[in-house]
Amino acid sequence: MSAPAGAADNAGPSAVAPTGAPVSARPYQLKGGVSAPIYSYGSAIRETVYVNAPDYDGDGSPDRVAADIVRPSETAAAGMEVPVIMDASPYYLSLGRGNESEFKTYAENGTPQKFPLFYDNYFVPRGYAFVAVDMAGTGRSTGCVDQGGVSDVGSVEAVVKWLNGNASAFDVNGAPVVADWTNGKTGMIGKSYDGTLANAVAATGVRGLETIVPISAISSWYDYDRSQGLPFSWNYPSGLSSLVASKRTEPVDCSATLARLAADDGDESGQYDEFWAERDYRQGPQTNVGKVRASVFVYHGLQDLNVKTRNFSQWWTALGSQGVTRKMWLTRVGHVDPFDSNRSRWVKTLHRWFDSELMGIDNGILDEPAVDIEIKPNTWVKNTSWPTAASTTFTPRADGSMVAAPGVNAGLSSWLNAPNQSESTAVSAGSEKNRLLFATGPLRADTRISGTATARLKVTSQVPTGQVGVMLVDYGLGKRVLATGDGVSTTEKQTCNGSSTAFDDSCYYTTKRNIGNTPLQVIGRGWARLDGAGAHQLTVRMDPDDTVVAKGHRLGLVVVAAAPSRLRNVDNSPTSRYTLDLSATTFTVPGAVFTAPARDARTFGWLPKTNELTPGTVAPQQKGMRLPS
DSSP states of 87-155 as a string? EEES-TTTT-BTTTTB--EE-TTS-EEE-SSSHHHHHGGGT-EEEEEE-TTSTT--S---TTSHHHHHH
Instruction: Identify the pLDDT of residue 600.
Output: 59
pLDDT over 70 for what percent of the chain? 92
The residue out of 355, 383, 411 marking a domain boundary is 383
Kindly state the DSSP code that residue 3 receives in the 8-state scheme: P
Residue 436 lies in a domain: yes
Helix axes 193-202, 150-163, angle to 10 degrees: 70
The domain that contains 348 carries what CATH number?
A: 3.40.50.1820
Residue 575 pLDDT more than 60? yes
The residue out of 383, 412, 437 marking a domain boundary is 383
140 & 185 share domain:
yes
What is the average pLDDT across 448-454?
A: 97
Instruction: Identify the pLDDT of residue 567.
Output: 87
176 & 320 share domain:
yes
The model's pLDDT over 522-560, given as tens digits with 9 standing for 90+, comes to: 999 999 999 999 999 999 999 999 999 999 999 999 999
Q: Give me the number of domains the chain comprises.
A: 2
- Pick the closest to residue 299 from 230, 384, 374 (CA basis): 374
Q: What does the angle CA 513 – CA 515 – CA 521 come to, to the nearest 5 degrees?
A: 125
- The catalytic site residues sit at 192, 304, 335
Residue 490 pLDDT more than 70? yes
580 & 471 share domain:
yes
How many CB atoms within 10 Å of residue 2? 16
342 & 454 share domain:
no
Q: Is 432 strand, coil or helix?
A: helix
Give whole-number Cα distances, 70 to 24, 122, 282, 350, 502, in Å. Answer: 20, 12, 32, 19, 15
The model's pLDDT over 205-216, given as tens digits with 9 standing for 90+, comes to: 999 999 999 999
Helix axes 255-264, 236-244, angle to 10 degrees: 150
What is the average pLDDT across 31-54?
A: 98
Torsion sign over Cα 178, 182, 183, 189: negative
The model's pLDDT over 256-310, given as tens digits with 9 standing for 90+, comes to: 999 999 999 999 999 999 999 999 999 999 999 999 999 999 999 999 999 999 9
Residue 161 lies in a domain: yes
Q: Is 616 strand, coil or helix?
A: coil
The domain that contains 567 carries what CATH number?
A: 2.60.120.260
What is the average pLDDT across 317-336?
A: 98
Return the minimum-mean-pLDDT range out of 296-310, 440-454, 608-622. 608-622
Q: Is 495 strand, coil or helix?
A: strand
The residue out of 383, 412, 429 marking a domain boundary is 383
421 & 556 share domain:
yes
Residue 622 pLDDT more than 80? no
Instruction: Identify the pLDDT of residue 597.
Output: 83
Tell me the whole-structure pTM to 2 decimals.
0.94
504 & 554 share domain:
yes
Determine the residue type at 519.
P
362 & 408 share domain:
no
Distance CA 182, CA 197 (A): 21
Residue 17 lies in a domain: no
84 & 175 share domain:
yes
Burial of 16 (0-12, 13-18, 19+ CB in 10 A): middle
Residue 251 lies in a domain: no
Torsion sign over Cα 174, 139, 185, 37: positive
Kindly state the DSSP code that residue 288 receives in the 8-state scheme: B
Domain range for residue 522?
392-596
